[in-house]
Amino acid sequence: MELVKELPEIFEEFAEQRQRSFLVMKEVKDKGIPVVGAYCTYFPQEIAMAMGAVTVGLCSTSDETIPIAEKDLPKNLCPMVKASYGFAVSDKCPFFYFSDVVVGETTCDGKKKMYELMKEFKNVYIMELPNSQRADSLELWTKEIIRFKEYLEKTFNVEITEEKVRHAVHVSNQGRIALKKFYEVMKNDPAPMNGSQLFGVLYGSQFKFDKEKMPAEIDALREKLMKEYEEGEKPERKKRILLTGCPSSGAPMKVVKAIEEHGGNVVVYENCGGAKSVDRLIDEDAEDIYKAIAERYLAIGCSVMTPDNNRIELMGRLLEEYNIEGVVEMTLQACHTYNIEAKSIEKFVKSKGLPYIHVETDYSQADIGQLDTRIAAFLEMI
């Protein structure tokens, strides 16, 4: 990445990385490199990376294909599940089209049953994710990761050695460290950028297919950003918001825009694609590397876990470290686990003496006026 570029252009480059990656994906396939697609933060990408495959997040963030999905799926289903299926069944997601295998996981009921339908037209591999974080759950998840490794070896006629797995773990950890350092610049007050710019980099980095080069690009962006912040005029201070709940990429970014338009700034994302995705590293020196991978992924805090103590633990740290002044929880309609758990999050946040608001939305633009009104009132209260 050229450091001579102006910052807004660099942010734009990351934000548009997904679109540019469509063309790169075609080049990857032309070279005969396997592509493994996935939808979830629990996907243990290191196993696929150790095979030499490119891993990619699949399309699920727009309402464009929901009408297509509703021909097969209930209308009152989570919009993320409907969008995932709609992009897949209509062949409107280049990443899905080029994926040799799609890896699913038993998180929520909607996704589990969607994968069954998806299997009718795509090679889908399901990993049995435990819904608790007990010792016996870790044992099961470790076996699932080894089973996934053996599936890839058999399907692609390759050998995934422990040495290759450990190298993939190191590469992934370096990426997580770089992203964590990048979003930690938001601890500065006032923050050096707005939350939508921050998320553009976090989200765009998922579509940087050369995982070994990505950390240097993130570090270069962070250094340039902080140099301009320290030497230039400080940006206007805005109310410091933590966003939690369902994934916010794509259509749900309307919530972030509403926060920014009314004097707030999302200085940290606790949700998927944000802090929870890179907060923990894999122990590279562990004697059992597969168990170490399993430990790292199983420890992710998500509402599919019962109890979800790790989400609370992470949020508690973020509230303090980022000097948070208010918490916005964004959930998607019909996402039962997050909508029910919102009550526990509200109780926790208010126990810290902080204001909290829960907004439930979908992928349409129909509720933008209502969102604006509620979020404006919430920020006015802080």
Ordered by where they begin, the domains of the chain are 11-158 (3.40.50.11890), 164-381 (3.40.50.11900)
Judge contact between 65 and 86, C-beta under 8 A.
yes
Burial class (CB in 10 A: 0-12, 13-18, 19+), 131: middle
In this prediction, residue 4 carries a pLDDT of: 36
The Cα 186–Cα 166 span in angstroms is: 31
In this prediction, residue 35 carries a pLDDT of: 97
In this prediction, residue 11 carries a pLDDT of: 63
The Cα 336–Cα 342 span in angstroms is: 10
| Residue 360 parent element (H or E) | strand 356-361
> For residue 20, is pLDDT > 90?
no
The Cα 170–Cα 191 span in angstroms is: 30
Judge contact between 140 and 129, C-beta under 8 A.
no
Query: Rounded to 5 degrees, what angle do the CA atoms 285, 286, 287 make?
Result: 115
Residue type for position 90? S
Judge contact between 55 and 38, C-beta under 8 A.
yes
Q: Give tens-digit pLDDT for 56-112.
A: 999 999 999 999 999 999 999 999 999 999 999 999 998 999 999 999 999 999 999
Burial class (CB in 10 A: 0-12, 13-18, 19+), 236: exposed
For the beta carbon of residue 196, count every other beta carbon within 10 angstroms: 17
Helices (H), 40-78: 45-50, 66-69
Nearest residue to 65 via CA among 379, 363, 380 = 363
Mean pLDDT of the chain: 94
| Residue 239 parent element (H or E) | strand 239-245
Torsion angle, alpha carbons of 374, 377, 381, 382, to 10: 70
Judge contact between 107 and 300, C-beta under 8 A.
no
Q: Could you tell me the pTM of the whole model?
A: 0.94
Distances (CA, A) of 206 to 164, 284, 286, 287: 21, 22, 26, 29
17 pLDDT band, cuts 50/70/90, is confident
> For residue 232, is pLDDT > 80?
yes
> For residue 3, is pLDDT > 70?
no
Over residues 359-382, the mean pLDDT reads 97
In this prediction, residue 44 carries a pLDDT of: 98
